[in-house]
Structure 1
């Protein structure tokens, strides 16, 4: 097989294939994923650069990203790439469905690519508890907490999802809202959604709301379209909500569109607060209220911790990164 064969099979140009093989950044994630899959499937090594490529592969860090629509993860991935570029290591990114078994995929990639370490953006503890003991290399969970899992080679860098979502709902209640809709993921599959729903529950209890948050919950994927549909279902239930907590800013944007398509206004008729603090939230109209995660710190610390484990054999580290509540313009006082 040649570079031309890879280009033909992948549907991308020879120059794009060459950039992927040379670990260049100016390649789309979709192209890189497809070309990497073909290279791995055929065990391709360029004849004129075999020694260099072998060295590059043995110094690779893999990043597994759950979900293709998560704009926070996109920002974190970019920062991870910038950070790794300053080291002797290369980085390969793999995108999975948000409901996929990331540990099962990691085991396969570990055997095929033989990386020195892995970063997981998003993770389900059930998958880790079941199969992670098959992974022996250093790993870091990014945005999910890993301390309770008890694996000596699994560190974590995360925001406290329970505390942060409780803060978001407290903010809505502090502005006078008592009937609060919630948009989030499937709590049986998304540990993040489960934790954030727990934060909602704590806020409801603390502030004396009689209902359980599940009564106001609509399930959605972390995408514009899915949250748009979920918001419509929430409105169809006639719960007389005055505010919505969306478990991501992407969900919040989809929800705002659904509210407006019903002839309602944000925040005049329904207030909304998101989660993540992606750049779009600051430029959206209205400017979104949100819980801002410090994505640069999450990215840099995850790489630093992973390289510490790889190079210096340091033990697992578990860090909680502070969040910030941004008031925005999408929540009104009632």
Structure 2
């Protein structure tokens, strides 16, 4: 009786059996109970080759990352690799440009590397259609919800972008800001940007205000330079702006530098806030007010969901995790006289 025989008898993958034998917690209760039942039935005893067999059982999960400047993705990626390793899986990382087609990349990877699952970090939902099922493996979209799709092999883990953005705008309005500029990605290809702008528009409307995207929103790349360039464009249409909400922390940091170069100081002249909660924002001269996405929780839930889909054939899962508003030094309250503007 070998570990492969246990897998065959129990109906679960070799990797799952290996995790049960090694007391790894990343196994469902049902799978653990069934595997232990078979082990007890045959009085199976792991031998000196168990570790080697576990290594043989490792299977690859492909991780496709859009862009190389996203520090949130870097943090999530690191945590996911750790989670995969702990669960007995290897990981393969592929970086593509922010404007490249991630699904086409996945097709190439599946054809050449035969992964057991695919994780997408960053995405253009226009690239995702029913033919994603043709990949033949479970897929996971991270930091972007796929709940509105009907793709049977695509799960997702994200925060509620609409609600989180509305929360930030509500905070800025409470601080007396009305002339607010917004920086994000291309609204046609960046679903998080589109969702976040919708949240901002909704919150403006809830307070009897109007947000004019033509005047108040600038699309740019999710980079330091993108944020820097976007500020120059915003100042042309909104020379009297008092606050900037960037849809990523990296953009916000680029925006802060651009404002300084225009001799506009944060937060004395212009308040700035971001989205993501990356570690770097803790060490700025003016710590950035931002929406923190829970990296550890997202990574753990994402990998757990994907592995269950791989090993147990579960249906796609779409999960929202809680965000946190971090109110810090980059936003100031305006004098009462500005509240009526």
> TM-score higher than 0.5 here?
yes
2-structure distance, mates of 1:56, 1:263? 60
Q: Displacement, 1:270?
A: 0.2
Residue 283 of structure 1: aligned partner: 283
2-structure distance, mates of 1:253, 1:62? 31
Residue 181 of structure 1: aligned partner: 181
Structure 2 counterpart SS, 1:201: helix
1-structure distance, mates of 2:307, 2:62? 12
2-structure distance, mates of 1:129, 1:212? 31
Relative distance call for 1:168 and 1:202 in structure 2 (3 A) is same
Relative distance call for 1:69 and 1:126 in structure 2 (3 A) is same
Residue 96 of structure 2: aligned partner: 96
Verify the 8 A CA contact 1:103 1:131 in the aligned structure 2: no
Verify the 8 A CA contact 1:116 1:137 in the aligned structure 2: yes
Q: Displacement, 1:160?
A: 0.8
Q: Displacement, 1:171?
A: 0.9
Residue 232 of structure 1: aligned partner: 232
Verify the 8 A CA contact 1:101 1:127 in the aligned structure 2: yes
Structure 2 counterpart SS, 1:140: strand
Q: Displacement, 1:131?
A: 4.0
Runs ≥4 in structure 1, deviation > 6 angstroms? 55-58
Larger radius of gyration between Structure 1 and Structure 2? 2
2-structure distance, mates of 1:197, 1:239? 21
2-structure distance, mates of 1:209, 1:303? 41
Structure 1 counterpart SS, 2:188: coil
Relative distance call for 1:282 and 1:307 in structure 2 (3 A) is same
Structure 2 counterpart SS, 1:162: helix
Verify the 8 A CA contact 2:201 2:211 in the aligned structure 1: no
Structure 2 counterpart SS, 1:64: strand
Verify the 8 A CA contact 2:140 2:302 in the aligned structure 1: yes
Residue 119 of structure 1: aligned partner: 119
> Structure 2 matches for 1:267-282, cutoff 5 A?
267-282=267-282
Q: Displacement, 1:210?
A: 2.8
Verify the 8 A CA contact 2:161 2:192 in the aligned structure 1: yes
> Structure 2 matches for 1:55-74, cutoff 5 A?
59-74=59-74
Relative distance call for 1:193 and 1:232 in structure 2 (3 A) is same
Residue 171 of structure 1: aligned partner: 171
Verify the 8 A CA contact 2:133 2:152 in the aligned structure 1: no
Structure 2 counterpart SS, 1:115: coil
Residue 312 of structure 2: aligned partner: 312
Which whole-Å deviations, capped at 9, do the CAs of 1:43-88 have from their partners, x for residues lacking one? xxxxxxxxx9xx8697100001111111000000010111111122
Residue 22 of structure 2: aligned partner: none
Residue 258 of structure 1: aligned partner: 258
Residue 216 of structure 2: aligned partner: 216
Residue 109 of structure 1: aligned partner: 109
Q: Displacement, 1:246?
A: 0.3
1-structure distance, mates of 2:215, 2:263? 24
Structure 2 residue runs without a partner (length 5+)? 1-51, 335-341
Structure 2 counterpart SS, 1:171: helix
CA RMSD of aligned residues (A): 1.6
2-structure distance, mates of 1:191, 1:137? 23
How many equivalent pairs are there? 281
Q: Displacement, 1:211?
A: 3.7
Structure 1 counterpart SS, 2:176: coil
Q: Is 2:147 aligned against 1:147?
A: yes
